[in-house]
Amino acid sequence: MSEQESAAQILRVMSYNIQVGIATSRMRHYVTGSWKHILPCSQQLPNLDRAAKLIQQYDIIGLQEVDAGSLRSNFINLAEYLAERANIPYWYYQVNRNLGRLAQHSNAFLSHFKPNRIEDLKLPGIIPGRQAIKAVFESETDSLAVFILHLALSKRARIRQLDYIAERVNDYPHAIVMGDLNCSVDSQEMKLLFNKTQLREPTDEMHTFPSWCPQQHIDHILVSSGLTVKNTCALRHEVSDHLPLTMEIELPPTIKLDRHTHQGLSLENYLGHSIISR
């Protein structure tokens, strides 16, 4: 084994739309369980505990459909709850749609590695509110940017949003883009993204939706060409209407992530948000 090969680090990442911990196992549950999107239910925290046991095995996790603390989540910040239960030291959330006490629609970033910086990116769209999280990890001569997205339902809006993300991705030599993109890999908007960046979908279709009978490939983990993908899997873990998507990525030797001594800015100071280092 060469010195370069021995220096390679494997990064385990996950993208998961957790649907606020609401288990959906039939199409009719969208109707019969619609009240769970307004009021807390007894199974929500046990479902999230199951999710925490799963995500603690991964290095970086991007979550969609998280609640930052409202009536439907029993006023619990679910990013904080999952990070605590999974024993993940760094977590961050962004509120995309603030409906006060009724709902705090959010994305979240959880990591065993401390990023050097983190940023909210406001996505263009017909209906305002959608954002992306950008977390940047820097080594002496190289860097890695991780983007977490939950795109719009409208194709027109998704094209604009991915065009915006493409410009940000191209600022970095290595990038990972993951999330619920609400479109398939062969869609027009994804093809435009691939044409404008070095991002690629490393495997064939990974069906993640709906969780009880996966038929659609709308959750994605995209990587730039300088990253080597070792494994990709959609896990059978039904605590949402989406399945979690996971990937093992071999980092170039120029990027080193350290769980204990990675030097970066204080997470508590980013953007004035609640970014916690435990």
271 pLDDT higher than 50:
no
Task: Name the maximum alpha-carbon separation found in the chain.
Answer: 58
CA-based radius of gyration for the chain: 18
pLDDT band at 22 (very low <50, low <70, confident <90, very high): confident
Cis peptide before 210 (omega within 30 of 0): yes
Instruction: Assess contact for 17 and 150: CB atoms under 8 A.
Output: yes
Task: Determine the pLDDT at residue 43.
Answer: 82
* Element spanning 144, H or E: strand 143-150
For the record, the structure tokens of 128 come out as 């305002």
pLDDT band at 33 (very low <50, low <70, confident <90, very high): low
CA-wise closest residue to 203 among 246, 242, 165, 144? 246
51 pLDDT higher than 70:
yes
- pLDDT tens digits for 252-267? 999 999 875 433 333 5
Selecting from 3.60.130.10, 3.60.10.10, 3.40.640.10, 1.10.150.120, what CATH number does the domain 3-258 have? 3.60.10.10
Edge-to-edge strands, sheet with 143-150: 117-122, 131-138, 143-150, 175-180, 219-224, 199-200
- pLDDT tens digits for 69-113? 998 888 999 999 999 999 999 999 999 988 888 889 999 999 999
